[in-house]
Amino acid sequence: MSRTAVEAFSRKGFDLRGYDIKECADDVNDLRKALSYDQITWWARASDPMSFAVMRRHPEIVARALLMGVEPLDFGYDMPSHVLAAVQRCGRSRKGSTT
C-alpha cells in the first residue's frame, strides 16, 4: 500500500523522498496558521513521536499537551519484532526467578 501511495503522489508531481517527521511537524504548524489559532492543545497517545517533533520544532505553538504511552524521538521502537523479542527475554528471565 505504501508503494502504491508513493507512486500515486509521484504521478501527481509530489516528491516524498525528503518528507520526514520534521516536515510533518511543520505541517502541523501550517495547519495551525491556516485555522488562525495562536496556540494549540496537543493530545496524543500510543507512542506518538510526532508530539515531541512538534514541541521541539515549534515550542511556542503548544499551549498544553496531554501525552500517553509516549516514545521519545531519539529512542524509538520502530520494529514490533524488537519489542516482542524484549518481552520474550523478560519472560525467559522470569521463569528462572524464585520471586
Q: What is the 3-state secondary structure (H, E, C) of 37-69?
A: CCCEEEEEECCCHHHHHHHHHCHHHEEEEEEEC
Model confidence pTM above 0.85: no
pLDDT tens-digit profile of 39-80?
999 988 765 678 888 999 999 999 999 888 766 666 665 667
For 7-28, write each residue's pLDDT tens digit: 999 999 988 877 788 999 999 9
